[in-house]
Structure 1
Amino acid sequence: MRFVLIRHGQSINNLLWAETGDSIGRHHDPVLSPLGHQQAQLLGDVLADGVLPWRITQLHSSLMTRAVQTAAPLADALDLPLIGHPEAYETGGLYVEEVAGVRIPHRGATAADLQLLSRRLILPDSARADGWFPGPYEDGDALIMDRARRVVADLRARHDDDDVVALVMHGAFFQYLFRALLGIDTMSGWIVKHNTAMTLVADESVGGITIAHRIDWTPHLTDDQLTL
């Protein structure tokens, strides 16, 4: 199986951090910035033009709004259903941060609101009229790593060995997914993951190993369109 891991486009929270160096005023489920929408459209364009060495056959997305907004033009460009994945959310999950630093889980976008983002979106049963995130706030590397392994196992179980599975997800959660795919138990460093950057990972039949072919690849963006 081959995987294309895609970070969402620039969100208004990403923009807030870039402009202020702080998260004060963050939104619990931010939308894409105007540049984020442009990044997603540019990615869809190059995918449609065949920039990848593989043809994506399955497209999944986190249910956080910024991820679905990023995945929507990709689904259109590739003419694929967009499968909402309930466990591909960012580390910590959806939460509202109170003044005292207490993080209160938030249910997130409703099923109706999510389906307005893409006519191709297929929602899991967990996406309901009152939101999709069950909580609680996710705290601790072990919990996040376990979830990353579950996401990888689920994608492998759902699809065939010759499928190319794309997943639109998040910068911090990517660190754990990357480790889960390559069988890395611990990693002291951090991999740069720009908005809408792609990482290509493939299971190799010879030797039975998994190889990362490209990491943080952005053939669709110019230097001034790169954001974190």
Structure 2
Amino acid sequence: MRFVVIRHAQSANNLLYERTGASVGRHHDPELTDLGRTQAARLADAVAEGALPWQITHLHTSLMTRAVQTAAPLADALNLPLLGNLDAYETDGVFIANEDGTPVPHPGATADALQAVSARLVLPVGVGPDGWYTRPYEHEYEVHAERARALISSLRHQHDDGDVVALLTHGAFFQHLFRALLGIEQMSGWVLKHNTAISLFADAAVTDYSTVTALRVDWMPHLSDDLVSE
């Protein structure tokens, strides 16, 4: 199996942090900026024009709005259904701060709001008018790591060995996906993942000890330098 793991385009929270260095004023489920929409369009165009070494057969996305907005033009370009995935969201989940500043979970976007972004979106069972996020605020490292391992295992179970599975996800959660795909239990470093950057993983051994190969990490063939953001 082959995996194409893509981070969402620039969101309003990304821009807020770039400008202020802080998260004060963050939105619990931000939309894309104008730059982010351009990045998403360039990504879709490049993939449709053959920038990848493989042809994507299935497209999954986090149900956070910024991920669905990034995935929508790609689904259109590839003429594929957009498969909403309940495990691909960012670390900590969807949350707001209550009056004393304590993070508490938020249900996220409603089914109608998400399907207004893309008519191709296929929502999991249970997503409806009250939103989709039903889990607690997730701040523990091992919870994130286990979710990443479970997501990769689920995708492998759903798809055939010859499939090319694309996943629209998030920068911090990618750290755990990277480790899950390569079988790394603990890692003190950080793998840079720019907005709409692509990482390619294949079930192809290159040594006697490997089963998965990371062929590209933080790859952006579709973006000029002026369109790159974190």
TM norm. shorter chain > 0.5: yes
Which residue of the partner structure matches residue 212 of structure 2?
210
Deviation, 1:99, is: 5.1
- Structure 1 stretch 204-213 or stretch 25-34: which is displaced more? 204-213
Aligned-partner residue type, residue 29 of structure 1:
D
Which residue of the partner structure matches residue 152 of structure 2?
152
Aligned counterparts of 2:126 and 2:25: Cα–Cα separation in 1: 28
Q: 1:104-183 to 2 correspondence within 5 Å? A: 104-183=104-183
% identical equivalent positions = 58
Deviation, 1:22, is: 1.0
> What's the CA shift string for 1:206-227, capped at 9, x where partnerless?
7561000000000010111110
Which residue of the partner structure matches residue 66 of structure 2?
66
Aligned-partner residue type, residue 224 of structure 2:
T
Deviation, 1:120, is: 0.6
Aligned counterparts of 1:139 and 1:47: Cα–Cα separation in 2: 34
Aligned counterparts of 1:205 and 1:161: Cα–Cα separation in 2: 14
Aligned counterparts of 1:181 and 1:103: Cα–Cα separation in 2: 30
Deviation, 1:98, is: 3.3
Deviation, 1:205, is: 6.1
Deviation, 1:178, is: 0.7
Q: 1:180-195 to 2 correspondence within 5 Å? A: 180-195=180-195
Q: Is contact 1:64–1:108 with CA below 8 Å preserved after alignment?
A: yes
Q: Is contact 2:12–2:31 with CA below 8 Å preserved after alignment?
A: yes
Aligned counterparts of 2:204 and 2:192: Cα–Cα separation in 1: 25
Q: Is contact 1:111–1:131 with CA below 8 Å preserved after alignment?
A: yes
Aligned-partner residue type, residue 92 of structure 1:
D
Aligned-partner residue type, residue 214 of structure 2:
A
List structure 1 segments (4+ residues) > 6 angstroms apart after TM superposition. Answer: none
Q: TM-score, length-normalised on structure 2?
A: 0.97
Q: What are structure 1's unaligned runs of at least 5 residues?
A: none
Aligned counterparts of 1:204 and 1:196: Cα–Cα separation in 2: 24
Aligned counterparts of 1:179 and 1:58: Cα–Cα separation in 2: 22
Deviation, 1:100, is: 3.0
Aligned counterparts of 2:64 and 2:179: Cα–Cα separation in 1: 22
Which residue of the partner structure matches residue 220 of structure 1?
222
Q: Is contact 1:109–1:131 with CA below 8 Å preserved after alignment?
A: yes
> What's the CA shift string for 1:124-153, capped at 9, x where partnerless?
013111000002101211111010011001
Give the CA RMSD over aligned residues: 1.1
SS at match of 2:3: strand
Q: What are structure 2's unaligned runs of at least 5 residues?
A: none
Q: TM-score, length-normalised on structure 1?
A: 0.98
Aligned-partner residue type, residue 39 of structure 1:
Q
Aligned-partner residue type, residue 136 of structure 1:
P
Aligned counterparts of 2:175 and 2:9: Cα–Cα separation in 1: 17
Q: Is contact 1:86–1:126 with CA below 8 Å preserved after alignment?
A: no
Which residue of the partner structure matches residue 40 of structure 2?
40
Deviation, 1:97, is: 1.9
